[in-house]
Amino acid sequence: MKPIAMITGATSGIGLACAEKFHKAGYRVIITGRNVAKLNELKDKWGEDAYPLIFDVRDRDIAIMAIKSLPPTWQEIDVLINNAGLALGLDPEFAGDYTDWDTMIDTNIKGLLTVTREVVPGMIARGKGHIINIGSVAGDAAYANGNVYCATKAAVKAITDGLRIDVAHTPLRVTLLKPGLVETNFSNVRFHGDDERADNVYKGIKPLVGDDIADAALYAAQATAHVQIAEMLILATHQANGSVIVRS
């Protein structure tokens, strides 16, 4: 039986790249998200190797129901990739939008916790599993006007480190991937659909793409059983950290 990978936020960006990469590597993939059309497109493309779950990680009750609804042949998840996340706004903390704050906290932190809480007990019971959380370089140090987003990604790091401690007595592995500048729809979402402002984020530098992060996730998942890739910081060549980017 092929191993199973579950990817949250699998309809675009890093999540979609992970779904494609793991499917190509021989995994069956549980693909989750809110974009019904994209999930169905992937299901049509991959057939019996894909199982779509339609839910928003912010809605805890619906997320729990969706995960519990998995048929027996899809319940033994080998790799969980907690990818669903977003940034909204780029304002000083004293001028931030309350709704943006709630959405980031509910998605990036609480949504990740809900999915982890529902999937990891099964991994422990089976004595195998790998949790890969998508953090960010933004979790290492705050940058100007990044305040709440940076805080959520710092929380992802702490939550990941804590989980690794909590399962150290088991064969489970826990990995944190911390991407830098990745060209996806991330900036378009952050700027609420302002394409010009989003495009300016990537001008003058060759950024990472979703496949680069998916490669890192697959590398960690395919490491020999006694090797745990605890944390990986992945930056574009001309990015030094969350705030230092050299543009041509």
Active-site residue set:
149
Residue 38's alpha-carbon distances to 29, 34, 35, 91, 162, in angstroms, are: 14, 9, 6, 31, 34
Q: Which two tokens stand for residue 91?
A: 């304002």
Helix/strand/coil (H, E, C) string of 149-188? HHHHHHHHHHHHHHHHHHCCCCCCEEEEEEECCECCCHHH
Q: Please tell me the chain's helix, strand, coil percentages from 3-state DSSP, rounded to the nearest 5.
A: 45, 15, 40
Q: What angle do CA 166, 168, 170 make, to 5 degrees?
A: 105
Strand 79-82 and strand 50-54: the pairing is: unpaired
